[in-house]
Amino acid sequence: MLRNRQKDGPLQVRSLRRLTLDLLEAMGLEAELGFHFVSPREMARVNWRFLQHEGSTDVITFDYGSTAERLHGECFISVADAVAQAEAFGTTWTDEVVRYVIHGILHLRGYDDLEPPLRRTMKREENRWVRWAARRGYAVSAPEATKCGPSRRRVTSR
């Protein structure tokens, strides 16, 4: 299930759904997942309520009992944070959204990014799947919408 509850960037939900299904198939996984594309305000509420962290962030993942063969969870993604990150890293916000979808799936597969060695391992795997998605030409925004309007500039560690 994909829900677009934000207005920071025009998402093509069908393309995101196809990306997610193709990614899961390529990983050999079955899944019961929810992806929620939310405003920074909603992300900040989720971040505080469940993690007691202030402010918005790019991705928050909740695992509801994933196994090696089947993922079960939810990912909250802030498109406004994708816009800010894209500016900071010299990419497009749509590329960042694809990265966040992959990042959330990797968390559900058991990857962690809290400690530097684990973060490096997760980042290598994330980059591998980002390249996989790019080779297949996945785009999640309308062609004219690779740039979005103004957004709060906030850089988090990747």
Classified as helix, coil or strand, 44 is helix
Where residue 147 falls among pLDDT bands split at 50, 70, 90? very low
The answer to whether 20 and 33 are in contact (CB under 8 A) is: yes
- For the sheet containing 30-38, what is the strand order? 2-5, 30-38, 70-78, 59-63
Residue 81: Cβ within 10 Å count: 27
pTM of the model: 0.85
pLDDT tens digits, residue range 33-84? 999 999 999 999 999 999 999 999 999 999 999 999 999 999 999 999 999 9
Q: Are strands 2-5 and 59-63 parallel, antiparallel or unpaired?
A: unpaired
Segment (H or E) for 107: helix 93-108
Architecture of domain 2-137: 3-Layer(aba) Sandwich (3.40)
Share of the chain above pLDDT 70, in %: 87
- C-alpha 66, offset from chain centre: 18
How is residue 63 written in tokens? 């695992």
pLDDT greater at residue 60 or residue 157:
60
